[in-house]
Structure 1
Amino acid sequence: MHAVFLDQQTFSADIELTDIKNQISSLTCYPLTQPDEVLSRAQDADIIITNKVLLGEQLLAKLPQLKLICIAATGINNVDIDAAKKLNIGVTNVSGYAKGSVPQYVFGQMLEYFSQVSHHNLNVEQGLWQQSPSFCYHGNGSHELADKTLGLIGYGTLAQAVEKIALAFGMKVLIAERPNRENIRTGRIAFNTVVKEADVLSLHCPETTDTIGLINADVFNKMKSSAVLINTARGAIVNEVDLLNALKRNEIAYAILDVLKQEPPAPDHILLTDQPHNLKITAHIAWATIEAQQRLIKILANNIADFIDGKLTNRVDV
């Protein structure tokens, strides 16, 4: 079988693809693929591997040789799944690969904020400790995670891994029920209660019609003025205009975003051109430790091997 990887550049340059190559006869890789290039590049492919390239019904209908689409991500909204079903094209995704990477990012950012690590390092680099009349130089101080409340929106594999670390730090963890749900499941807490009580609100839910704009002005109004928002899920879950206003008005203390609604963002993106001091943004890398990326490639390879063997591993079209 011949496979094409349409957007290899979404992975680090030093990620090995040997596991995938071992499952197929040939692999052609393209750094990135524009919409008008997909058809020509995939024309002779039995397998398409892609992270974010859009594969719609009209395009898929023009690829009669295509047997399998391997999405190199958990989210599947870049592929028309219904069209793939009609055309008898298998579709797989990957999950679980970032269960070490994302929680590490969440707590790396949380510790940076509450322990003020960079600030205290800079105090010594700038000679402030050396000039101190006391044996220590407190600067901005620091705060413990113990006894703080972590609110989780979404409770899949990643959120559960975050919870485990939080409990080790002595934090209280609240798992939010879906908004406006009257029947609260065992182990869950009403959404509005979690929002009101959380010292840190961490987002781990998928982007759906129900979650787009979920974190908005109404939510910010309910949150503690000392609360921190962390989003490693999807950018569209947060209303970016409402977030900017909330940060400027100090309705919440801080926000850490690894995702934005538009990726990559335009140079004039509202959160970048008018970025307040209490907002930090990273470039969608919470998932992307080298180990997590290599783990993802191994899962992709296993998906291909199982497809060839007639197994339905990670199939999202059945």
Structure 2
Amino acid sequence: MKAVLLDCNSLGPDDLDLSALMALPVDWTIYPETSDREVCERIVDADIVLTNKVPINALSLSQAPRLKIISVMATGTNAIDLQAAAQHQVAVCNAVKYGTGSVVQHVWALILALTTKLADYQRAAVDGTWQHSSQFCLLNFPVEELQSKVLGIVGAGELGRGVAKVAEAFGLEVIYAALPGRQYADQQRVDFEAFLSRADIVSLHCPLTAETTNLIDEVELALMKPSAVLINTARGGMVNEAALKRALLNGAIAGAGIDVLTNEPPREGNPLLDETIPNLIVTPHCAWVARQSRQRLVAQAVENVRAFLQEEPLPRAVVP
């Protein structure tokens, strides 16, 4: 069987062990990167395709008659046309729970940096401000304890629960959002408007869907406390970036930590890539990139492909 990995470089392969993947009894073709226009020709003869972020649409699927399985080397499957895959009888698998430790610590790095004004104080320590202080310490930037604050989490899956577990150590109250139009078995969810009004920190941990696109927009930002902080390590399209910029510039909310943008990489720019925006930290979609996280991702791809080859139930099959 022929197998293709479309975007190996996105895994940061230099510090990974890919031997288990390469040992699978398939004929591998490994591409460092694949552009959208190259997808069709690169999967046309493939039985197995691995992709991280390279999109596979209905046209590509229609021109790959041998394709039997796509293993997405990520949790989100928004890069795959799942309905078209089902129509062409192509199974789709993903990866789950591989990056929890990495993402959770990145979320808390953002929260702590913003609430302790870490960048401001670090800059003040080296730009001469501290040297010219009349006191032994600086109190130029307001810091408040996290204890007794409210952490609001959108999404109660692996990542949301992981972030909540750390919150216990800081003495925060944790609440979970009830998104509009959804039914929850968990009756402890908080109506979304009330959730936004109560939370001191809002952290997003849900998939990007039609319902969650622009989940945080002008109206939602206006409902948040002026002292609140927004964290997004999920998907960029869930936050209206222009609206967030205005909210930060106007002091409508106190800060934001953003690891994801609507278009990545942001070759055409982005409203949030502006050094004049106060209390904003933007990182380049790197919350998941701890080496251990990426190694688990490879291991799960191996399990997915091995199960397919052995005609076993696919361990992480995605239903459209």
Where on the TM-score scale, by shorter chain, does this alignment land: which range? over 0.9
Tell me whether 180-189 or 201-210 shows the greater mean CA deviation: 180-189
C-alpha deviation, 1:317, in angstroms = 4.2
- The question of whether the paired residues in 1 share the 8 Å contact of 2:114 and 2:257 is answered with no
CA distance in 2, matches of 1:154, 1:67: 32
Matched, 1:238 2:239: yes
- TM-superposition CA deviations, 1:205-259 (whole Å, max 9, x none): 1111111111111111111001000011111111122212211211111111111
Q: What runs of 5+ residues in structure 1 fail to find an aligned partner? A: none
C-alpha deviation, 1:181, in angstroms = 5.9
- Helix, strand or coil at the partner of 2:55: coil
Matched, 1:38 2:39: yes
- Helix, strand or coil at the partner of 1:314: coil
C-alpha deviation, 1:49, in angstroms = 0.5
2:87 paired residue number: 86
CA distance in 1, matches of 2:40, 2:268: 30
Measured at CA, do residues 141 and 248 of structure 1 come closer, stay the same or move farther in structure 2, by a change above 3 Å?
closer
CA distance in 2, matches of 1:161, 1:9: 28
- The question of whether the paired residues in 2 share the 8 Å contact of 1:307 and 1:313 is answered with no
One-letter identity of the residue aligned with 2:180: P
- Helix, strand or coil at the partner of 1:176: strand
Instruction: Provide the alpha-carbon RMSD of the alignment.
Output: 2.1
- TM-superposition CA deviations, 1:178-206 (whole Å, max 9, x none): 12669884221111111001111101111
Measured at CA, do residues 273 and 138 of structure 1 come closer, stay the same or move farther in structure 2, by a change above 3 Å?
closer
- The question of whether the paired residues in 1 share the 8 Å contact of 2:110 and 2:281 is answered with no
Matched, 1:100 2:127: no
Measured at CA, do residues 275 and 98 of structure 1 come closer, stay the same or move farther in structure 2, by a change above 3 Å?
farther
- TM-superposition CA deviations, 1:234-286 (whole Å, max 9, x none): 11111122212211211111111111111111343222257512222111111
- The question of whether the paired residues in 1 share the 8 Å contact of 2:77 and 2:94 is answered with yes
TM-score, normalised relative to structure 1: 0.92
One-letter identity of the residue aligned with 1:162: V
CA distance in 2, matches of 1:246, 1:74: 30
Measured at CA, do residues 136 and 47 of structure 1 come closer, stay the same or move farther in structure 2, by a change above 3 Å?
same
1:6 paired residue number: 6
CA distance in 2, matches of 1:81, 1:49: 15
- TM-superposition CA deviations, 1:119-158 (whole Å, max 9, x none): 4344443455555554434442532211111001111110
- Helix, strand or coil at the partner of 1:152: strand
CA distance in 1, matches of 2:119, 2:272: 22
Measured at CA, do residues 145 and 239 of structure 1 come closer, stay the same or move farther in structure 2, by a change above 3 Å?
same
1:165 paired residue number: 166
Tell me whether 294-303 or 136-145 shows the greater mean CA deviation: 136-145
2:251 paired residue number: 250
- The question of whether the paired residues in 1 share the 8 Å contact of 2:208 and 2:237 is answered with yes
One-letter identity of the residue aligned with 2:242: V
TM-score, normalised relative to structure 2: 0.92
C-alpha deviation, 1:41, in angstroms = 1.9
CA distance in 2, matches of 1:250, 1:119: 17
One-letter identity of the residue aligned with 2:317: R
C-alpha deviation, 1:4, in angstroms = 1.0
CA distance in 1, matches of 2:276, 2:288: 24
Matched, 1:57 2:58: yes
CA distance in 1, matches of 2:297, 2:283: 21
- The question of whether the paired residues in 2 share the 8 Å contact of 1:82 and 1:317 is answered with no
- Helix, strand or coil at the partner of 1:271: coil
Identity fraction in percent = 38
Matched, 1:213 2:217: no
Tell me whether 263-272 or 159-168 shows the greater mean CA deviation: 263-272
- The question of whether the paired residues in 2 share the 8 Å contact of 1:2 and 1:24 is answered with no
Q: What runs of 5+ residues in structure 2 fail to find an aligned partner? A: none
One-letter identity of the residue aligned with 1:3: A
CA distance in 1, matches of 2:54, 2:69: 15
- Helix, strand or coil at the partner of 1:305: helix
Measured at CA, do residues 258 and 59 of structure 1 come closer, stay the same or move farther in structure 2, by a change above 3 Å?
same
- Helix, strand or coil at the partner of 1:270: coil
- The question of whether the paired residues in 2 share the 8 Å contact of 1:229 and 1:256 is answered with yes
One-letter identity of the residue aligned with 2:108: F
One-letter identity of the residue aligned with 2:308: F
